[in-house]
Structure 1
């Protein structure tokens, strides 16, 4: 069985590690937080002293960091994975970064003997912890076949969306455009209902059983009416970053993005006022403007 590794043991990475261990993979991980390393040990994983140590002790390594610069440092740096992994291993890039950054990483890895699987994920904290993530995987079929078991350990659905770096990230950018827009529309609808005197429970029942009902709408509205704006596993900074990536790609390709641009402004306002909040905290900005809150 392949040895697994995880770089970045936060809300998402800790879930990857937990499910790799649960499925019998010898798992080594690294994070800058000592508390997270201790948590990995308690799960049965092997805390590493550095990224290089993970590279030396794993055949397939998930990179779940926050941005492209971090991904490049972890993968390509002097003490990065490429310099320490054995030939034939794979870096599984599950972090969401700009497509062009993934392509740059792929180009830099060419000839290294290390495979790159560009596979951002969807499902958030519940999906990571429950092992039910959706993966958007881009790599040659032979590589995906070889590393499918280690990917199946953390996901419920693996979509093969391309054969090269950047293609997985492109699909994720399109997905986040839609999710961010749905969230933002839900925030606005909830405040409209609050100002009109509608009960949150009634709004939730209608939305969740209508054509507009979906995981994104239901989750957002339920958190709003229960006034859960922190510690739900969906930090506002992540969606803010992801929409930035979507709009950057749109600018690169010359595609107008009217709805996503509006969603970006809503998330920008939410992040400015509630930087430690979750996505749903954006609603509070609009609520403050109109002087009404939606409760269950």
Structure 2
């Protein structure tokens, strides 16, 4: 087993994570299905591989930073997948936002293959992924954490250890992202209201940021939206996916989530209205039009 790290999925978050680890002295090999992302990685001096298996061969761990459970399964267990290429005892960090039952199933299959699953969803955006200030919600065996401590703590200065039960990282991420969706939907709605009432929306956001209505996601997204900058850092499709995953978790637990239902419906409507590939700050434009 070498000291190299594989990162499969080098989108906005994955590339930031790979560059962070590179800067911290790890040898990196990366893979993505998007040639444009791979070109960006090459321009940063990263070693780009032809398959997840090539990236993972001999590595101490593989970080999976793709979009959903379908992509995760393909990367792990499909042709040229990570699981068959990693040496026994290596770890797999599962970083996508997916359903807890999917995380549990992947963790069981990885353990059967002699690998150490680490349930490790991430949050904070690409800038914080790059500088190591994003949060990681980690659930795994204590031995796996200790073995991969250098990698995990290089990625994040805000690591939340949630115990050893696979799926608890996924559960915590959905709790967080449902609130993120609610906060973003609320911020977009009140700024659209401020504009309709004849107020300066930028000044309204100034007031909110220093008052009881403040939230990080409101400041981050609405500043860009008010500037007309909807270039995707986090596509609208992602919070549409994540809020609905969180609602599915709530329904499986027999709990109603009425505020979350309204927020999820807005993200679904935004996707249906042509904003899917834009930043989720586009929710403001959707609500301006209503």
Both proteins in one fold, TM over 0.5? yes
Residue 294 of structure 1 is matched in structure 2 by none
Give the 3-state SS of the residue equivalent to 2:178 in structure 1. helix
Q: Distance in 2 between matches of 1:236 and 1:147?
A: 32
Show the counterpart of 1:136: 137
Say which is worse superposed, 91-100 or 101-110, in terms of deviation.
101-110
Counterpart for residue 147 of structure 2: 146
Matched, 1:8 2:6: no
TM-superposed deviation, 1:39: 2.4
Q: What residue number does 1:155 align with?
A: 156
Matches within 5 A, 1:1-296: 2-231=3-232, 233-273=233-273, 274-289=275-290
- The corresponding residue for 1:292 is none
Q: CA deviation at 1:230?
A: 2.5
Aligned residue for 1:173, secondary structure, equals helix
Contact preservation (8 Å) 2:92, 2:117: yes
CA contact (8 A) 1:186 1:220 kept: no
- The answer to whether the 8 A contact 2:183-2:215 is kept is no
Query: Matches of 1:38 and 1:227 in 2, distance apart?
Result: 28
Q: CA deviation at 1:78?
A: 4.2
For residues 40 and 264 of structure 1, the distance between their equivalents in structure 2, rounded to whole angstroms, comes to: 33
Residue 127 (structure 1) shift? 1.5
Give me the whole-angstrom Cα distance separating, in 2, the residues matched to 1:85 and 1:200. Answer: 52
TM-score normalised by L of structure 1: 0.93
Count of aligned residue pairs for this structure pair = 288
Partner Cα separation in structure 1 for residue 217 and residue 149 of structure 2: 28
Counterpart CA distance in 2 for 1:221 and 1:122 is: 18
Q: Deviations over 1:6-45 (max 9, x none)?
A: 0011111111111111111000011112232232233232
Q: Are the counterparts in 1 of residues 191 and 205 from structure 2 also a CA contact under 8 Å?
A: no
Q: Is the 8 A contact 1:28 1:57 kept in 2?
A: no
Q: 116-125 vs 200-209, which deviates more?
A: 200-209
Retained in 2: the 8 A contact 1:235–1:278? Answer: yes
Deviations 1:226-254 (Å, cap 9, x if unpaired)?
Answer: 222233x1211111111111011111111
Shift of 1:76: 2.1
Aligned residue for 1:116, secondary structure, equals strand
RMSD: 1.4
Q: Matches of 1:33 and 1:78 in 2, distance apart?
A: 17
8 A Cα contact 1:243 1:260, kept in partner = yes
List, as ranges, runs of 4+ consecutive aligned residues in structure 1 with deviation greater than 4 Å: none
